[in-house]
Amino acid sequence: MPTNYLAVAGVSVVLLGISVYKVREALQQLILRRHGVTTIAVVLTVQRVEQKNSPMFHLTVTYLDAEKNRHQIRLTAPNSEDRFYDYKTGDEVLVCYHPQHPDQCELAEVLDIPWWSGPLVPAIFLGATGSYFLLKALPCI
């Protein structure tokens, strides 16, 4: 049965790209855990996104940094393990932002999840899978 090695290589490159994105996300969360400043933000809008197992929430929040500058940012909060709840407009939530780059911000609850529930595990899995299939496909192209 013939195999389309070019398609396999293309999908492998996409997997590697997603892996790099997830590693970047994990590094940003690590930086926020170490150097971030925690503050209270007010939820402006909530968009509930239904998924297969549990919903996710896209929140638009506003917060003041240490210099009293107002920032508005869109964050994503998964609803898993009863750590997250149905957010409502006007709710106050804790966010953590980078003091030198206040646009880099995340919900404090997201930063508190264990490392195996964060973006690092999918990054490793996707990177390994993409690399394996790419190495198998390249000699056949």
Tell me the average pLDDT across 45-57. Answer: 80
Tell me the average pLDDT across 11-25. Answer: 92
Question: Does 1 have pLDDT greater than 60?
Answer: no
Q: Are 97 and 104 in contact (CB under 8 A)?
A: yes
d(C-alpha 55, C-alpha 59), whole Å: 13
pLDDT band per the 50, 70, 90 thresholds, residue 115: confident
Range of weakest confidence among 6-20, 35-49, 55-69, 72-86: 72-86
Question: Does 75 have pLDDT greater than 70?
Answer: yes
Q: Which residues pair with 138 in a beta bridge?
A: none
Q: What's the number of domains the chain is made of? A: 1
One-letter amino acid of 19: S
Q: What angle do CA 21, 23, 107 make, to 5 degrees?
A: 85
Q: Are 11 and 133 in contact (CB under 8 A)?
A: yes
Q: Are 59 and 46 in contact (CB under 8 A)?
A: yes
Cα 139 from chain centroid (whole Å): 34
pLDDT band per the 50, 70, 90 thresholds, residue 31: very high
Tell me the average pLDDT across 9-28. Answer: 91
**Domain range spanning residue 34?**
5-140
> pLDDT by residue (tens digit) across 119-140?
888 899 999 999 998 898 888 8
DSSP 101-141: -TT-EEEHHHHTS-GGGSSHHHHHHHHHHHHHHHHHHGGG-
Residue 66 in tokens = 């240490």
Coil/strand/helix, residue 23 = helix
State the average pLDDT for the chain.
86
Tell me the average pLDDT across 3-9. Answer: 85
Predicted local distance difference test score (pLDDT) of residue 82 = 54
Residue 4 in tokens = 């389309």
